[in-house]
Copies of this chain bind each other. A is one copy, B any other.
Amino acid sequence: MTNCIYIVGMGPGSEKKMSFEAKDILEKMDVIIGYKVYLDLLEEEFRTKEFISTPMKKEIERCKICFEKALEGKKVAIICSGDAGIYGMASLMYEIKEQFYADSQIELRVIPGITAAISGAAELGAPLNHDFCVISLSDLLTPWEKIEKRLVAAASADFAIALYNPSSKKRSHYLKKACEIMEKYIEKSRPCGYVKNIGRDGTEICVCSFEELKEESVDMFTTVFIGNSSTKVIDKKLVTPRGYNRNE
């Protein structure tokens, strides 16, 4: 039996930023699996489906449930906020398939969604409108030395930067720590910003300088943006020129 599991990016919070493809696929499923907060957003829309959630840190179990349900012949989708392949479940699904279900002939298909770097950038104007890096400050799954090396590389090569997971209860000082690592390369007045709760109730948008950013209090639902050396503030928005306009 061949069956296909869809790994679906829902975009940020509100359903209106989901793609038509993502919604079409969810409509056809029997079972939708995900982290509870994201399932709650869908349950009202799709009342007849089976919804299964596992808590955070139970990601491997969540993936295995997908395969078990698909082996029962069910049409299964696993959902992620934002994009499924940007700090999402896509890679783990492939790994779990290889380890436990290699003979199953179950196919995996990733359905892309709008990740927070993109939706947050749109709220702030156009901070990523040239070469950029996306870096997660969470050292739960990545050694801090590696994160530090990437922060230095990104800042010293003048990338615009989006930071995911800039803080959490246990890591409340991580954004400050990251800024201190980058301040050798980034002037204090560099335009920066952040967006909390993108696409959900209580969206909060802030434009500030790099110096101010260091002292800002952000949470795990915040995406932080650091401009490159050309980034300007226009109309209270962050604007990183692409270069079209340099001769005018």
Contacts and interface: CB of A to CB of B under 8 A. Distances in A.
A126 interface: yes
Main secondary structure of the interface of A (DSSP, over half): mixed
B244 A141 contact: yes
Interface residues of A, number: 77
A94 B242 contact: no
B112 A121 contact: yes
Interface stretch (A42-50, A67-75, A155-163): A155-163
A197 to B, nearest CB: 15
Contact of A86 (B129, B239, B244): B129
Contact of A239 (B95, B119, B125, B131): B95
A83 to B, nearest CB: 5
Nearest to A240: B91
Interface stretch (A17-25, A30-38, A173-181, A216-224): A17-25
Interface stretch (A142-150, A186-194, A207-215): A142-150
27 contacts: A9-B122, A11-B19, A16-B24, A17-B112, A18-B20, A19-B19, A84-B122, A84-B126, A85-B121, A86-B128, A88-B126, A91-B130, A94-B234, A95-B234, A98-B235, A110-B122, A110-B126, A112-B118, A113-B114, A115-B118, A133-B159, A141-B243, A141-B246, A149-B158, A150-B158, A150-B159, A153-B157
Given A86-B118, A114-B118, 18 more contacts: A85-B128, A86-B121, A87-B242, A90-B239, A91-B125, A94-B237, A113-B118, A130-B136, A131-B142, A132-B134, A133-B133, A133-B134, A133-B154, A141-B243, A141-B244, A142-B243, A149-B157, A153-B154
Interface of A: 9, 11, 15-21, 23-24, 59-60, 83-88, 90-92, 94-99, 108, 110-115, 118-119, 121-123, 125-136, 141-142, 146-147, 149-150, 152-154, 156-159, 234-235, 237, 239-246, 248
